[in-house]
Amino acid sequence: MNLQTLQAVAVVLSIVLYVAVIALVLYAIPAFKQLRLWLKGSEELHQLVQDLRPTMTNAAENINYLSAAFRSDADEVGQTVRKATETANSIIDSARDRSAEINGFLEVVQEEAESTFLNTASLLRGVRATRSRRIVEDADDSGKRQRLG
């Protein structure tokens, strides 16, 4: 290869390189414009987020307050239910005790009533028997008196 051929190849390669750079620049300009628009949109989005940050912070604080209040109320309801359950169990136990006491009292009353009934029946039987004996004795005595007198 001679020097002129090498120079011609170098010139052709330089032209091809320049054309490639120009084509690359021509394609890069719209891409850079799109990138610029995207960055502008990104900045707008960033600004929107910055503007919303105090509102979101306030909303998060409100949610935390509400959840704490709800948790507190739920704990109070739970305690109230536990106390009501304990009270109901205590009332049931007291009612059972009272029922047992009443049953015992009724048994004593029944035993006393039965005993009184049996004693009264026995007393009446004794009175009747004694009365019958007196009537018989009186009859015997009145028969003796008539004979004597």
Tens-place pLDDT, residues 108-135: 999 999 999 999 988 888 888 888 777 7
Per-residue model confidence (pLDDT) at position 149: 45
Q: Indicate the DSSP class of residue 1.
A: -
Q: Using 50, 70 and 90 to split pLDDT, how confident is the model at 1?
A: low
Give me the residue label for tokens 């015992």: 104
Tens-place pLDDT, residues 63-104: 999 999 988 989 999 999 999 999 999 999 999 999 999 999
Give me the helices (H) in 1-149, please.
Answer: 3-148
Token pair for residue 77? Answer: 């309801």
Token pair for residue 92? Answer: 């049931």
Token pair for residue 87? Answer: 């009270």
Q: What is d(CA 56, CA 28) in angstroms, rounded to the nearest whole number?
A: 40
Per-residue model confidence (pLDDT) at position 38: 81
Q: C-alpha 140: how far from its chain's center? A: 93
Per-residue model confidence (pLDDT) at position 99: 92
Looking at residue 94, its amino acid is: S
Polymer length in residues for the chain: 149
Tens-place pLDDT, residues 41-63: 788 878 888 888 888 889 999 99
- Residue 27, pLDDT > 70, answer yes
Per-residue model confidence (pLDDT) at position 146: 52
Per-residue model confidence (pLDDT) at position 135: 72
